[in-house]
Chain A
Amino acid sequence: SQQGEEDPQALSIQEGENATMNCSYKTSINNLQWYRQNSGRGLVHLILIRSNEREKHSGRLRVTLDTSKKSSSLLITASRAADTASYFCATDVSGTSYGKLTFGQGTILTVHP
Protein backbone atom coordinates (compact mmCIF):
# COMPACT_ATOMS: atom_id res chain seq x y z
CA SER A 1 0.00 0.00 0.00
CA GLN A 2 1.08 3.57 -0.46
CA GLN A 3 1.78 6.42 1.93
CA GLY A 4 -1.52 8.14 2.59
CA GLU A 5 -4.36 5.86 1.62
CA GLU A 6 -7.91 6.90 2.31
CA ASP A 7 -10.95 4.77 2.79
CA PRO A 8 -13.60 4.53 1.78
CA GLN A 9 -12.91 5.48 -1.82
CA ALA A 10 -16.44 6.83 -2.07
CA LEU A 11 -19.03 7.76 0.52
CA SER A 12 -22.63 8.73 -0.10
CA ILE A 13 -24.76 10.13 2.71
CA GLN A 14 -27.81 12.27 3.36
CA GLU A 15 -27.62 15.85 4.47
CA GLY A 16 -27.41 16.08 8.24
CA GLU A 17 -25.58 12.80 8.67
CA ASN A 18 -21.99 12.53 9.78
CA ALA A 19 -19.24 11.51 7.36
CA THR A 20 -16.11 9.70 8.47
CA MET A 21 -13.10 9.21 6.27
CA ASN A 22 -9.95 7.36 7.20
CA CYS A 23 -6.36 7.67 6.15
CA SER A 24 -3.48 5.27 6.72
CA TYR A 25 0.18 5.89 6.13
CA LYS A 26 3.38 3.94 6.38
CA THR A 27 6.26 6.13 7.56
CA SER A 28 6.80 8.48 10.49
CA ILE A 29 5.38 11.91 9.94
CA ASN A 30 5.81 15.48 11.11
CA ASN A 31 2.15 16.19 10.53
CA LEU A 32 -0.87 15.09 8.57
CA GLN A 33 -3.11 17.46 6.68
CA TRP A 34 -6.57 17.15 5.19
CA TYR A 35 -7.59 18.92 2.02
CA ARG A 36 -10.83 19.27 0.11
CA GLN A 37 -11.11 19.46 -3.65
CA ASN A 38 -14.27 20.35 -5.47
CA SER A 39 -14.54 18.85 -8.91
CA GLY A 40 -11.91 20.28 -11.24
CA ARG A 41 -10.86 22.90 -8.73
CA GLY A 42 -7.91 23.57 -6.46
CA LEU A 43 -7.11 22.09 -3.08
CA VAL A 44 -8.46 23.79 0.00
CA HIS A 45 -6.60 23.25 3.22
CA LEU A 46 -8.91 22.05 5.99
CA ILE A 47 -6.86 21.12 9.00
CA LEU A 48 -3.37 20.13 10.10
CA ILE A 49 -2.63 17.78 12.97
CA ARG A 50 0.90 17.37 14.25
CA SER A 51 2.46 14.09 15.21
CA ASN A 52 2.27 14.93 18.93
CA GLU A 53 -1.45 15.74 18.76
CA ARG A 54 -4.25 13.21 19.02
CA GLU A 55 -7.31 15.21 18.15
CA LYS A 56 -8.14 18.53 16.62
CA HIS A 57 -11.35 20.38 15.90
CA SER A 58 -12.27 23.08 13.43
CA GLY A 59 -15.91 23.98 13.14
CA ARG A 60 -17.76 20.86 12.00
CA LEU A 61 -14.50 19.02 11.40
CA ARG A 62 -12.83 16.68 13.81
CA VAL A 63 -9.55 15.02 13.02
CA THR A 64 -7.88 12.28 15.02
CA LEU A 65 -4.40 10.91 14.69
CA ASP A 66 -3.12 7.59 15.99
CA THR A 67 0.60 7.42 15.33
CA SER A 68 0.85 3.91 16.77
CA LYS A 69 -1.53 2.69 14.09
CA LYS A 70 -0.32 5.21 11.53
CA SER A 71 -3.85 6.32 10.83
CA SER A 72 -6.02 9.38 10.90
CA SER A 73 -9.71 10.04 10.55
CA LEU A 74 -11.68 13.05 9.41
CA LEU A 75 -15.19 13.44 10.74
CA ILE A 76 -17.57 15.96 9.21
CA THR A 77 -20.59 16.43 11.42
CA ALA A 78 -24.03 17.52 10.27
CA SER A 79 -23.03 17.31 6.63
CA ARG A 80 -24.39 19.68 4.01
CA ALA A 81 -24.78 19.32 0.28
CA ALA A 82 -21.96 21.88 -0.07
CA ASP A 83 -19.60 19.39 1.59
CA THR A 84 -19.76 17.27 -1.56
CA ALA A 85 -16.16 17.05 -2.73
CA SER A 86 -13.09 14.85 -2.72
CA TYR A 87 -11.15 14.74 0.51
CA PHE A 88 -7.45 13.97 0.65
CA CYS A 89 -5.06 13.32 3.44
CA ALA A 90 -1.47 14.40 2.94
CA THR A 91 1.50 13.51 5.04
CA ASP A 92 4.56 15.58 5.77
CA VAL A 93 7.09 12.83 6.27
CA SER A 94 9.66 12.98 9.05
CA GLY A 95 13.22 13.61 8.04
CA THR A 96 12.46 16.23 5.44
CA SER A 97 12.67 19.90 6.13
CA TYR A 98 10.88 21.51 3.27
CA GLY A 99 7.33 20.35 3.66
CA LYS A 100 6.94 17.96 0.74
CA LEU A 101 3.43 16.49 1.00
CA THR A 102 2.50 12.98 -0.03
CA PHE A 103 -1.18 12.67 -0.92
CA GLY A 104 -3.52 9.75 -0.81
CA GLN A 105 -5.99 8.78 -3.50
CA GLY A 106 -8.83 10.55 -1.76
CA THR A 107 -12.38 9.86 -0.68
CA ILE A 108 -15.21 11.12 -2.87
CA LEU A 109 -17.96 12.36 -0.59
CA THR A 110 -21.45 12.91 -1.94
CA VAL A 111 -23.99 14.55 0.34
CA HIS A 112 -27.56 14.30 -0.91
CA PRO A 113 -29.93 17.13 -0.01
Chain B
Amino acid sequence: EPEVTQTPSHQVTQMGQEVILRCVPISNHLYFYWYRQILGQKVEFLVSFYNNEISEKSEIFDDQFSVERPDGSNFTLKIRSTKLEDSAMYFCARGLAGGGNEQFFGPGTRLTVL
Protein backbone atom coordinates (compact mmCIF):
# COMPACT_ATOMS: atom_id res chain seq x y z
CA GLU B 1 0.00 0.00 0.00
CA PRO B 2 1.16 3.54 -0.66
CA GLU B 3 2.64 5.09 2.41
CA VAL B 4 1.55 7.97 4.56
CA THR B 5 4.48 10.03 5.71
CA GLN B 6 4.53 12.34 8.68
CA THR B 7 6.90 15.10 9.65
CA PRO B 8 8.58 15.71 11.94
CA SER B 9 9.11 12.33 13.53
CA HIS B 10 9.75 14.00 16.87
CA GLN B 11 8.88 17.52 17.99
CA VAL B 12 9.89 19.06 21.27
CA THR B 13 8.26 22.32 22.24
CA GLN B 14 7.72 24.58 25.19
CA MET B 15 4.33 24.82 26.81
CA GLY B 16 2.27 27.57 25.20
CA GLN B 17 4.00 27.33 21.85
CA GLU B 18 2.28 26.50 18.60
CA VAL B 19 3.15 23.34 16.72
CA ILE B 20 2.23 22.14 13.26
CA LEU B 21 2.32 18.45 12.48
CA ARG B 22 2.34 17.44 8.85
CA CYS B 23 1.03 14.46 6.98
CA VAL B 24 1.53 13.65 3.34
CA PRO B 25 -1.00 11.12 2.13
CA ILE B 26 -1.71 10.14 -1.43
CA SER B 27 -3.22 13.21 -3.00
CA ASN B 28 -6.26 11.57 -4.51
CA HIS B 29 -7.56 10.20 -1.23
CA LEU B 30 -10.48 12.07 0.22
CA TYR B 31 -10.66 10.81 3.80
CA PHE B 32 -8.07 11.74 6.37
CA TYR B 33 -7.88 11.34 10.09
CA TRP B 34 -5.82 12.41 13.05
CA TYR B 35 -5.48 10.24 16.12
CA ARG B 36 -3.31 10.54 19.15
CA GLN B 37 -1.86 8.08 21.62
CA ILE B 38 -0.67 9.25 25.02
CA LEU B 39 2.15 7.05 26.25
CA GLY B 40 0.81 3.79 27.58
CA GLN B 41 -2.77 4.58 26.62
CA LYS B 42 -5.03 3.65 23.75
CA VAL B 43 -5.27 5.39 20.43
CA GLU B 44 -7.87 8.17 20.47
CA PHE B 45 -9.70 9.70 17.55
CA LEU B 46 -9.27 13.44 17.13
CA VAL B 47 -10.80 14.48 13.84
CA SER B 48 -11.83 13.28 10.42
CA PHE B 49 -11.49 15.38 7.32
CA TYR B 50 -13.43 14.75 4.16
CA ASN B 51 -13.51 16.75 0.98
CA ASN B 52 -11.45 19.49 2.61
CA GLU B 53 -13.79 19.92 5.53
CA ILE B 54 -13.97 18.58 9.05
CA SER B 55 -16.57 15.83 9.04
CA GLU B 56 -16.36 14.76 12.66
CA LYS B 57 -14.34 15.70 15.70
CA SER B 58 -13.97 14.37 19.22
CA GLU B 59 -14.26 16.16 22.52
CA ILE B 60 -10.48 16.27 22.63
CA PHE B 61 -10.42 18.39 19.49
CA ASP B 62 -11.15 21.71 21.13
CA ASP B 63 -10.47 25.24 19.95
CA GLN B 64 -6.72 24.89 20.31
CA PHE B 65 -6.68 22.34 17.49
CA SER B 66 -7.20 22.95 13.81
CA VAL B 67 -6.67 20.98 10.63
CA GLU B 68 -6.27 22.03 7.07
CA ARG B 69 -5.03 20.89 3.73
CA PRO B 70 -3.37 24.07 2.57
CA ASP B 71 -1.94 22.98 -0.75
CA GLY B 72 -4.08 20.02 -1.70
CA SER B 73 -1.51 17.47 -0.64
CA ASN B 74 -0.11 18.14 2.82
CA PHE B 75 -2.55 17.67 5.66
CA THR B 76 -1.70 19.54 8.84
CA LEU B 77 -2.72 19.45 12.47
CA LYS B 78 -2.04 22.65 14.35
CA ILE B 79 -2.02 22.95 18.11
CA ARG B 80 -2.12 26.64 18.94
CA SER B 81 -0.99 26.76 22.55
CA THR B 82 0.45 23.47 23.65
CA LYS B 83 -0.11 22.06 27.11
CA LEU B 84 1.86 19.42 28.95
CA GLU B 85 -0.98 16.96 28.43
CA ASP B 86 -0.69 17.32 24.67
CA SER B 87 2.47 15.21 24.83
CA ALA B 88 1.62 12.12 22.78
CA MET B 89 2.14 10.32 19.51
CA TYR B 90 0.03 11.87 16.79
CA PHE B 91 -0.97 9.65 13.90
CA CYS B 92 -2.33 10.68 10.56
CA ALA B 93 -4.39 8.12 8.67
CA ARG B 94 -5.97 7.95 5.29
CA GLY B 95 -9.07 6.10 4.22
CA LEU B 96 -9.34 4.42 0.89
CA ALA B 97 -12.93 5.36 0.19
CA GLY B 98 -14.53 6.66 3.32
CA GLY B 99 -16.24 5.06 6.24
CA GLY B 100 -16.36 1.32 6.46
CA ASN B 101 -12.96 0.73 5.01
CA GLU B 102 -9.42 0.21 6.17
CA GLN B 103 -7.43 3.11 7.46
CA PHE B 104 -3.71 3.27 6.81
CA PHE B 105 -1.64 5.03 9.38
CA GLY B 106 1.52 7.02 9.16
CA PRO B 107 4.48 6.38 11.46
CA GLY B 108 3.44 9.15 13.80
CA THR B 109 4.94 12.29 15.26
CA ARG B 110 6.06 12.13 18.85
CA LEU B 111 5.21 15.47 20.46
CA THR B 112 6.90 16.33 23.71
CA VAL B 113 5.71 19.45 25.52
CA LEU B 114 8.05 20.73 28.22
Contact = CB atoms under 8 A, between A and B. Distances in A.
Contacts, number: 72
Q: A-side binding surface: helix, strand, loop or mixed? A: strand
B42 A101 contact: no
Contacts of A92: 99-100
Count class of interface residues, chain B:
20 to 34
A101 B45 CA distance: 7
Q: B-side binding surface: helix, strand, loop or mixed? A: strand
Interface in A33-70: 33, 35, 40-45, 48, 50
B31 A99 contact: yes
A1 interface: no
B108 A42 contact: yes
A72 B25 CA distance: 30
Interface of B: 31, 33, 35, 41-45, 48, 50, 55-56, 91, 93, 95, 98-108, 110
Given A88-B43, A98-B48, A100-B48, 7 more contacts: A35-B105, A45-B103, A48-B101, A92-B100, A97-B55, A97-B99, A99-B99
